Amino acid sequence: MNVLLDNMDLYGPFFLTTIKLFLIAGAASLIFGTFLAMLRVSPVPVFRAVGTTYVTLLRNTPLTLVFVFLVFAYPLLQILQLSYFTAAVVALTVYTSAFICEVVRSGINTVPVGQAEAARALGLTFTQVLGQVVLPQAIRSVVPPLMSMLIALLKNTTIAAGFSVAEAGAIRQYLSERGYNQLVGLLWVALGFIVLVAILSLIQRSLEKRWRVAR
């Protein structure tokens, strides 16, 4: 217990940074991933090709390489300088959104085609059909896999520790410098993540009960 209590100046701020990374990247990934899913089901071939290319490329690229590009390679372009925190948010977002895209697309495919056809017959545009008819039903049907993607995102935030972001994954290094037992310190870090994942699981169950789709 003394490892935790003596180093609350590490655990508190560093876990707060982890939560900030997760919340910002999570919200951005949901928005961008949904947009990519719309491209993937678009009737315009070019849009479908763009969405497919992006998803295929990012899903098959290790997250660490995405971090390396944004932290080390991107600054060489001298377009817009990003802080380490911002670069971590962007890396997590562009990577996770590719997986969320596929989850949302699978949800879209579960909505009966007749509903979209009926909406188009009423004069709704493609965007209106997706936004008002298809997506609300699609999201309800994919709550569990979506939450799994967000839980994976939460755990992936630890990679940012290797790129100068002071978050929970970096606590071990600081404990080593202070001479504390690193194994015990990592156990507290693991417990912190278990608590955060448990909270996300509770949110998932709550949403499932509220949005349960009658079958």
* Least confident piece of the model among 113-122, 135-144, 194-203: 113-122
Distances (CA, A) of 93 to 5, 25, 56: 33, 5, 15
Is 0.75 topped by the overall pTM? yes
Number of domains the chain contains: 1
103 vs 90: CA distance, rounded Å: 20
| Tokens 């037992």 -> residue | 181
| Domain with 204 in it | 2-211
Report the chain's terminal Cα–Cα distance, integer Å.
49
pLDDT tens, position by position, 158-203: 888 888 787 777 777 777 777 777 787 788 888 888 999 999 999 8
| Tokens 């699978």 -> residue | 106
| Tokens 């372009």 -> residue | 77
Residue 38, judged by CB atoms within 10 A of its CB (0-12, 13-18, 19+), counts as: buried
- The CATH code of the domain that includes 54 is 1.10.3720.10
